[in-house]
Structure 1
Amino acid sequence: MTLFEEDASDAAEEVGAAGRAGDVGTPSVEAKLSLAEVLELFAGRRLPLRFSAYDGSSAGPADAPFGLDLKTPRGTTYLATGFGDLGLARAYIAGDLDIHGVHPGDPYELLKALSENLEFKRPPARVMTSIVRSIGIEHLRPIAPPPQEVPARWRRIAGGMRHSKSRDADAIHHHYDVSNTFYEWVLGPSMTYTCACYPSAHASLDEAQENKYRLVFEKLRLKPGDRLLDVGCGWGGMVRHAARRGVKATGVTLSREQTGWAHQAIADEGLGELAEVRHGDYRDITEDGFDAVSSIGLLEHIGVRNYPSYFRFLQSRMRPGGLLLNHCITRSDNRTEPSARGFIDRYVFPDGELTGSGRIISEAQDAGLEVLHEENLRSHYAMTLRDWCANLVEHWDDAVAEVGLPAAKVWGLYMAGSRLAFERGGIQLHQVLAFNPDDRGGGNLPLRPWWTP
């Protein structure tokens, strides 16, 4: 959170009143504050970690299990000018802020301590005057961010309007064309970059990913000879899972790296007659009459305003009575602004948008699909992210050599922070199963759910 974000909280007003009354704990306008003292003021003098800075100052418990070390004046500028979590991310990724007590591949425990015990509050105006004088007005002028950061949304118009085919391709390239080798280290043998479904608390990541594909396959009632379309297919995990069971499966992805890896995996398994992965936009699929469509982790990239056309298009690719399984990250309500902000938008998923499961179900129904079932796998995603972070820690030196230290830091920060968000319910993972009714509304479906949980 930026140190200069507006906060009209009652607590800040109380601090201001104390200062006007001459409270000895409030600095005078003339006092020059150290960087540690500035942080203490914003944190209400309650730091859950040890903080040290390049000016020689420090604050927080000496025996705290976690620590932050502000190393450079540039880091001060990033912290002072970055909105929300962006300033902290910039300073950390650029190497101006070090973390202690956790591995950079999994800073989960540090983030948890910060989120539970640290709340920034804006000091009163007279104290802010002293703070600005102490850190220097030059640190309030924004500077160029680390090169790993994409431009602000309003500056991305050169790549096309949001969720145009060209701009979506750029966004996918930014996140998914990092390095197949890097993804192999993080994701493990399954090369599956979506929420797993753990059959038990002690199941391995690979077992959980295989179980997720099994669940999707069963929900879609696929059988040998059927045709499956998998949009946003990634490295082809669902396509190969279905092809091994006699289903003719077609996948499509905007990532060239994923396409190349999937082609080789299909060839290695001898699945070429049944499995195909294409490089391209799902909207360019011309075939129709598919028995089932799976969309596993694509909707986050579509854009909420495009949901009607998305569901209508998928319906148009399905035969009457065909089934659709949509698996995606959601918000916990249907009212919050869908666009991602700050660190996630600039470093992880440019142009990503999330909304609640209710909005997704409504749009599917409005497109003429009949929703049969939905379930929330939120806890499973927290466990998936835990295991991905463990993989990154295990392969940290190789990962840094492959993609560079700043990019590896981005991944550790993003996955650990996402794990925390899933654990607390701020974001969720919903699977929605729907079918395409025929003219008489029938689908010859069983009366009750037919899959093994």
Structure 2
Amino acid sequence: MSLTIGEIADEVFGTEVPFQLRAYDGSTGGNKNAGISLDLRTERGLRYLVTAPGELGLARAYVQGDLAIDGVDPGDPYDLLVQVKDKLGAKIPDPRKLKDILGSLGAKMFLPPELPPQENPPGWRRLAEGLRHSMTRDALAIAHHYDVSNAFYELVLGPSMAYTCACYPREDATLEEAQAAKFDLVCRKLDLKPGMRILDVGCGWGGMVRHAVKNYGVTALGVTLSAEQAAYGQQWLEREGLADRGEVRHGDYRHVTESGFDAISSIGLTEHIGVKNYPAYFAFLAERVKDGGRLLNHSITRPSNHFNQITKGGFINRYVFPDGELAPVGVIINAMADQGFEVRHVEDLREHYARTCRAWARNLSGNWDAAVAEAGIGTARVWGLYLSGSSLGFERNEIQLHQVLGQKVGPGGVAAYPLRPDFGS
């Protein structure tokens, strides 16, 4: 018995799904009363779904335009993702129908199509770029994500060009207010004072460098692997007359030879260096900071070791952060402590990151046509999925964001610290 694509979908997913399916063979399936309609336009799209069931297959078909979604904002598909996450789940087809399903699909449907240009191949196929987290491969991974274009990031991130979790001081605070509050919180946790020298590793477009130099009177060096970010950030410092005390340098943090810094900030870098490299990473930072100096590590974490490695092999790894790795905050704390940092304060800001990602998605939605013109429709679709999906992940405690404040302990345990934290809320 030959089945249509719509009938196959009903056998696999049922009819209580949050969408109706229209297929290129003229058939329909799913929930006819749903307000969302999926339009499977091509045979290639079906091959993506068959050869990679789950998020990767759906993403491939959607990014390539083989799967269209009516009734959903492509820049901010948050509501769709909520419904799919809550209501969509494959069921076990009736064994009597399995032969019909396989026969109706045919052998050709099980041949994987070419990957979309936005997708990275799996890690084992990228060995030609070097071993995971080698300097060469890290540079390529960072370039894949951060060198989309500065103009695209301006549309998504807004005037602050801050691409890390903001800290909302009030319920009604704007994204810009929250990003400024985040940088200020980091500066206070580091106890910055005029005349200090600070190092900001993974500095992005230089937001922390600018804020610290302008508001706390320090001299700051920021380092980023992205050439686009470095050029943009240095020009920004020059425009604001801050280049005499601030620098945004293009390079690997491992190439920083300066030492004796009074404080170090690492905002959104730990996710990229690899869990096995934590000891070497924090040892390197310990060599660069003075005794008694503070380190603020701000990074995405996972709730526990019971959670699967979220970024490994899935949509985020292939499309957003190649080679990215997350660990529970306890792993970071232990790694810092093993390298001579006394952990003084830990804070989870995951609700703030959910808000931040929602704000970025709204920016993308509001600037959709310009974003597509700048980066292409496929990349824009990737970002819509990524930002909305990340917001949902933070909301549901599938991922977290921790700031860990450590202090390098000097000989004899000397490390001046107030009796109570002095950085406020």
Which residue is 1:283 aligned to?
A: 254
| SS state at 1:327 partner | strand
Letter in 1 for 2:193: K
Which amino acid counterpart does residue 66 of structure 1 have in structure 2?
Answer: I
Q: Tell me the distance in 2 between the aligned counterparts of 1:259 and 1:272.
A: 13
Q: 2:300 aligns with which of 309, 314, 329?
A: 329
Map 1:9-28 → 2, pairs under 5 A: none
Partner residue, 2:312: 340
One-letter identity of the residue aligned with 1:248: T
1: CA distance, partners of 2:4 / 2:67: 17
Aligned residue number for residue 354 of structure 2? 382
For 1:283-338, what per-residue CA distance to the aligned partner results, in whole angstroms no more than 9, with x for missing partners?
11111111110000000000000000001111110000000000000111034454
Structure 1 residue aligned with 2:14? 44
| Residues 48 and 61, structure 1, Cα contact 8 Å, conserved in 2 | yes
Matched ranges for 1:92-111 at <5 A: 92-111=62-81
**Could you tell me how far apart the structure 2 residues matched to 1:426 and 1:336 are?**
8
Correspondence 1:410 to 2:382: yes
1:443 is aligned to 2:415: yes
Residue of 400, 404, 415 corresponding to 1:428? 400
In 1, the alpha carbon distance for the partners of 2:77 and 2:106 equals 31
Q: Secondary structure at the match of 1:440?
A: helix
For residues 336 and 348 of structure 2, what CA distance do their matches in structure 1 show? 17
The alignment status of 1:259 with 2:230, answered yes or no, reads yes
Asked whether the equivalents of residues 243 and 249 of structure 1 are also in contact (C-alpha less than 8 Å), the reply is yes
The whole-number CA distance in structure 2 between the counterparts of 1:428 and 1:419 is 11
Q: Is the 8 A contact 1:78 1:143 kept in 2?
A: yes
1:452 is displaced (CA, Å) by: 2.0
**Aligned twin of 1:395:** 367
Structure 1: 5+ residue stretches without partners: 1-30
Report the secondary structure of 2:8's partner residue: helix
Q: Distance in 1 between matches of 2:53 and 2:347?
A: 35
Identify the match of residue 296 of structure 1 among 262, 267, 273: 267
Query: Does residue 366 in structure 1 map to residue 338 in structure 2?
Result: yes
Q: Choose from 167, 172, 175 the match for 2:145.
A: 175
**Equivalent residue runs for 1:20-419 within 5 Å:** 31-244=1-214, 245-338=216-309, 340-419=312-391
Secondary structure of 1:151 counterpart: coil
Supply the AA of the counterpart residue of 2:235.
Q
Could you tell me which residue of structure 2 aligns to residue 27 of structure 1?
A: none
Between 174-183 and 361-370, report the one with greater CA deviation.
Answer: 361-370
Equivalent residue letter for 2:33: D
Structure 2 counterpart of 1:143, which letter? Answer: P
- Structure 1, 53-62 or 240-249: larger mean CA deviation: 53-62
> Aligned partners of 1:294 and 1:240: how far apart in 2?
13
Q: Secondary structure at the match of 2:243?
A: coil
Q: How many residues align?
A: 423
Determine if contact 1:369/1:437 at 8 Å carries over to the other structure: yes
Instruction: Measure the CA separation in 2 of the matches of 1:250 and 1:109.
Output: 41
Which amino acid letter does the alignment assign opposite residue 214 of structure 1?
A: D
The 3 A distance-change label for structure 1 pair 134 and 383 is: same
Q: Any idea what SS the aligned residue of 1:39 has?
A: helix
CA deviations 1:342-373 (Å, max 9, x no partner) are 21111110000011111111111111211011
- Cα 1:304–1:398, aligned 2, differ >3 Å: closer, same or farther? same
What's the CA shift for 1:62? 2.9
Q: Quick one: distance in 2 between partners of 1:60 and 1:129?
A: 21
Deviation of 1:201 after TM superposition, in Å, equals 1.4
- Residue identity in the other structure for 1:96: D
Q: In angstroms, what is the RMSD of aligned CA positions?
A: 1.1
Distance 2:35 2:356 in 1: 25
Structure 1 residue 151, shift from structure 2 partner:
1.4
Cα distance between partner residues in 2 of 1:206 and 1:36:
46
1:334, 1:357 within 8 Å by CA — same for their partners in 2?
A: no
**1:205 partner amino acid:** L
State the distance in 2 between where 1:220 and 1:148 align: 38
Question: C-alpha separation between the residues in 2 aligned to 1:423 and 1:323?
Answer: 30
CA distance in 2, matches of 1:222, 1:442: 19
Task: Determine what percentage of the aligned residue pairs are the same residue.
Answer: 56
Q: Secondary structure at the match of 1:195?
A: coil
